[in-house]
A and B are shown apart, each in its own frame.
Chain A
């Protein structure tokens, strides 16, 4: 190789090395395990000390809002988990009982999940998930509409 090519190769190696180093260290700092409530329960003691995002639905009748601390229980497939929200930001508009939430935080020794951040999505009327057959979500909505006497039934 000519000296220029050697110099350029060294330059490229340094830049790539820096990118890889930044990626690895950045990854360790911000990785979080994404778990559903049953999966979190399965982890048991393995969950301690890891940053976890746990997903479930807010159980009806468990939400208690206090100026300092909001507590609630999330549930999925019959498994429950108590959450204490200690973050500073106001909870999002979509956060309410029955909403799907992702709580971002850590598991405490006493079995309570301490969340610093909550993302919530109300069981959405939008972006109605298309089922495999294209319109699986619709007949149910329609049946309700018929019960309310809202539908026009042609022919």
Chain B
């Protein structure tokens, strides 16, 4: 029995290693010469209010509410999540290198939750990406941006030049996949944030432009 347990433990360890060793690679793309020095994610760059209906799935927990994102300084955003009834769940200011928690509902006040939100929004709200390499495929122009140990693959639609996807990798492993649906470059109608290493998924649908 013990032997069996040990064996299955080893197998799962090997399996885990194998899975986590899977590296992210672009397929079916061709390299093109670098024209752009930097590319930008402008979806949260305007000073106006960005208001989204939000659905979060964190493992088996479903959180619903309203997410508000507002650029308050050149490099800083205010992010507030309220329940559908309007009461605030979490409120923070975030920039590339800084994070200031202004309020969190006692029930949500857990380091792991706050760290996830901090990291996810730091990545989502990152605006400028220096370009290291460029590629293209049938539908997209793809830019690879390397910042420290992090690599970002930004996919722009060839037809309308709108950013449609960012794949964030660390140590060459796929970490988060951001997909955008947009009609203009400063505003995403919906977006989907999916963790590749944890069961965390955030979906946003715009309710900014309602009338």
Indicate whether A and B interact.
Answer: no
